[in-house]
Amino acid sequence: MKNVPKIAAIHDMSGVGRCSMTVLMPVLSALGCQVCPLPTALLSNHSEYKNFYFFDFTEHMEEYYSNWEKNNEEFDCLYSGFIGSEKQINIMLDIINKIKSKKDVLVVVDPVMGDHGITYKTYTDKMVEKMSQLVHKADIITPNMTEASILLGEKYLDHRIDTELLKSYLQRLCSLGPDICVITGIATVDGENINACYDKRNNEYWKIPFRFVNKRYPGTGDLFTSLLVGYLMNDKKLPEAIEEASRFVSLAVKETYEAGTPSREGVLFEKIMKELYNEIEVYKYTKL
């Protein structure tokens, strides 16, 4: 029997509002992975609610991880998301080095820094600089267009993007260090809604269409990257894993929109978990 992939997940956890740890743990578990959480922060609910409690876990992260080390824990993947401070990035860089010293692991960094052209208030210029160092250590990164712009020092594009510029963004992001970059939530000049990726190892660009619903829900980025990680851990090819993840997120958004659920609660992925096992019969991804 194949071993269960073990994933060190370095994310925040919100008690209410589907995002980060409360999204990735059930989804990755359903895809046959063991999730080992290392929290960056604990929130009563995510910050799009008017009132929330926030506990910064920075001062506990190193001791927390040190006990994994003492127990000789090894991982197949390290997957990071929201980061609350510059110091946390330093800690994560050290953890990546320690985990990689034991075995070759897949490092996936979701550079959670902003959305819709706006950088999150918690991010300073120094943190953006440090995030570039974390991206340099990654095998795969999954920025949205806002985060791609921040990492590249470009002005956010508030209009549809053409293929050549998109390919330039993907290639430049991979030049920062990762082998693979996936940019999510792209609107193209051809009227398409796609996720796009570049695999510099094979010099391949892919575009993966998704069904667009004009409604924003927090946590969809967390859901997408978690699905991508899960499908890759199940030996899906890169564009197949992206398309499976894109399909599931679109279905979850559609289900939530039709249910009239308040957007701050995130998407109702629980209602469609069975879809994780209904694999796509004919893939629609193409070369970009």
Place of tokens 């902003």: 114
* 199 within a domain of the structure (yes/no): yes
Do residues 78 and 10 make contact, with C-beta atoms less than 8 angstroms apart? yes
* 268 within a domain of the structure (yes/no): yes
Task: Report the CATH number at residue 257.
Answer: 3.40.1190.20
What CA–CA distances, in Å, run from 271 to 2, 13, 25, 178, 213? 28, 21, 16, 34, 18
What CA–CA distances, in Å, run from 22 to 30, 43, 49, 157, 192? 13, 11, 16, 31, 31
* 1 within a domain of the structure (yes/no): no
**What was the pLDDT predicted at 2?**
62
* 94 within a domain of the structure (yes/no): yes
**What was the pLDDT predicted at 87?**
94
**What was the pLDDT predicted at 47?**
84
| Domain span including residue 110 | 6-287
**Residue pLDDT tens, the chain, 288 long:** 368 999 999 999 999 999 999 999 999 999 999 999 999 999 999 988 889 999 999 999 999 999 999 999 999 999 999 888 889 999 999 999 999 998 999 999 999 999 989 888 778 888 888 999 999 999 999 999 999 999 999 999 888 999 999 999 999 999 999 999 999 999 999 999 999 999 999 999 999 999 999 999 999 999 999 999 999 999 999 999 999 999 999 999 999 999 999 999 999 999 999 999 999 999 999 999
Whole-number Å distance between alpha carbons of 171 and 201: 11
* 89 within a domain of the structure (yes/no): yes
Provide the number of structural domains found in the chain.
1
The CA-based angle 282-286-288, given to 5 degrees, is 165
pTM of the model: 0.96
